[in-house]
A and B are shown apart, each in its own frame.
Chain A
């Protein structure tokens, strides 16, 4: 991806010679991205979310799992800015620690689903024939289910817990990556440089990883950023229905679920984690849109 381009061709330098500078494709992409204020704002939000997750032990005023049932449902005060939940746990601390769970699940599940789905899509596109038919029909079947239903089915089979949840969401996401990787692979495999690589006797694994993958990576990166937001939302949805990370680990979905019981008298219990979820999902969506504008402008 280090192909160079000539910028400023035609403009004259001080000595009258053309002012030629080499700008990498990556630099040019970053410049385009930087001009997108929304995307830049989203990136700032993500940095903030990551900082909160990393610094949670320093930022959280209380241990998020320590209970004080006698003082449960205490309203916001100078000691507990967002009050105490139904177990008497500090809501702010739980939201801060919940950031860790959201990011871990969001990123890990997209990584898992991305690797698996991309491999399926590239293999199907490159080899064609029966392998392609088999893989893509499985993908079609999986895509026919709504995400939450697929997630519920996988969780029902695997059980609950953070690792299982990552696998469940990863498997839900994988068909999307497979579908996106499949199309470009079909056209890239016919290019001369791929044929040249084959003629030189390069191994299939090398061709797939060094020649096909880099040429479909742009669209996959866009998908990854958008699906990180979806994965976080899916985690919250599964936690909301009680199939997410197990208590007492703080998760936003579980907090929203528990808070709905007190919606009429203490709505902050559901609204506060809801805002955290909205903020994070919005941030990833902004960045995803920005990346799409840069890497895949045709699909805009």
Chain B
């Protein structure tokens, strides 16, 4: 063998050995490689804010839900049951002699704060929880501070905290505020302080089953599996959330297999049609966002109850529901939806209370004539360009046209509409929202406490305060129902419909739980979510 041949043989041997090692190393990592990354097409152009205490848009809520935990959590796929999350067990309350109430929360000892670009992973302690709840309670660092007003949060030891509230509240009001939603998401102190509030907007660090990995503006957010997750390593290697604002594009991407999960159109026809495609499953589930009408009771001519009643009688719930179609759209009979929470009115209760207004155009015109508007009148309204608003405003404009009221509709950007309606630009304001309980719906939209979002300038504070003061859930629900009756009797607000969530997925995707309702407005992707082999 010549020297040159020996060299070649040596090189070949080295390549063979290296290849064998490569194969071996590859095999050792097969556990991780076998897992797939779930690609999720969401109906948005970009993120807003991934600090969970500010996250309010659907895409933001979905992402932070995968990254963070609450002290307790809604049982996956439901909104009616809560279970411990970071808490070791469900918190208990004790009434204090000074009239306050203290909730004691014991923490799990195996919860790890995820590593970040600036910090190492470390065990979550009560100091992190106290920091997070104090952040959630501050107007300077949270959008949800009002829910935590009057709270004192203290660490008893490394694994126990105490929350003292000025006025005793029921489980139904307290537990959702420490659940995996809005201000209830727990932020680890060290990464937040290291990244800063601005850094956290695009680089969230929590304790959940997935860790933030990469953000490409107007394109995607990539999350990686958190194998140190306290409930066990996720079945997925990660989740890629792609921002695809166009419904047709999402549908085609799902058909081609580019997406595993896609946000659908909130229409029954779409759900029926797409579910007929081979290998695709469409899920229709809660929580539905409620569309309700607010009539400004202080602006002419709506300061006249006859005019407000005429508006109510011009509206056809069926006409609005038809935009979505059942089961995507469901009727609600008060701004608080009885299907989703205590305190809302069922059809029977609304009918019994005489606040279930059926469309009656002739009677509406009589009422307008009685109020001195036999020739109708003209109003200017602004609407968001988002379909959930624009389509309903256009239907409203047609309904009002039938009773002689001309609506000059101006379509503006979504953020502009929110700004304008808070300046009382609209005498008739549609609002589309989900809120976790009746107290939030009523206080935000129908009390002075609601401030600029009290679009009707109607006040049911007495009933809301009374409901807060009682720890008897049944009595509380009755008080909320009475508030709903009052505001509809005085034609200040009117529940019209709720629109459920519609998502399509490849039939290989298993969310790991039944889908009845998810508070964060997406199917709920966690450590149990998996993709089976194609």
Chain A contact residues, CB within 8 Å of chain B: 65-67, 69-70, 72-73, 86-88, 159-161, 242, 246-248, 260-261, 263-265
Contacts and interface: CB of A to CB of B under 8 A. Distances in A.
Interface in B397-418: 397-398, 401, 408-411
B323 A247 contact: no
A260 B251 CA distance: 12
A263 B248 contact: yes
Given A86-B391, A87-B398, A265-B273, A69 B410 contact: no
Contacts of B273: 265
B248 A67 contact: no
A187 B273 CA distance: 66
Contacts of A246: 408-411
Given A87-B394, A260-B248, A261-B248, A70 B318 contact: yes
Query: DSSP majority for the A interface?
Result: loop
Contacts of A261: 247-248, 265, 387
A65 B398 contact: yes
State the 5 A-B residue pairs at the shortest beta-carbon distance, nearest first: A69-B322, A67-B398, A242-B385, A69-B319, A70-B322
Contact of A160 (B391, B394, B411): B411
B269 interface: yes
A79 B162 CA distance: 69
B252 interface: yes
Contact of A248 (B265, B319, B394, B410): B394
Interface residues of B, number: 27
Interface in B321-370: 322-323
Query: DSSP majority for the B interface?
Result: helix
A264 B398 contact: no
B409 A264 contact: no
Contacts of B385: 242
Contacts of A87: 391, 394-395, 398
Given A87-B398, A261-B248, A261-B265, A67 B319 contact: yes
Interface of B: 246-248, 251-252, 265, 269-270, 273, 318-320, 322-323, 385, 387, 390-391, 394-395, 397-398, 401, 408-411
22 contacts: A65-B398, A65-B401, A67-B398, A69-B319, A69-B322, A69-B395, A70-B318, A70-B322, A72-B323, A88-B322, A160-B410, A242-B385, A246-B410, A246-B411, A247-B409, A247-B411, A248-B394, A260-B246, A260-B248, A261-B247, A263-B248, A264-B251
B398 A66 contact: yes
Contacts of A159: 410
Nearest to B251: A264
Contacts of B398: 65-67, 87, 248
Contacts of B390: 247
Contacts of B248: 260-261, 263-264
Contacts of A66: 398
B269 A73 contact: yes
Given A65-B398, A261-B265, A264-B251, A86 B323 contact: yes
A294 to B, nearest CB: 43
B496 to A, nearest CB: 13
B322 to A, nearest CB: 4
Contacts of B410: 159-161, 246
Nearest to A243: B411
Interface centre among A65, A242, A247 (most CB of B within 10 A): A247
Nearest to A261: B247
Contact of B322 (A72, A260, A265): A72
B319 A70 contact: yes
Contacts of B323: 69, 72, 86
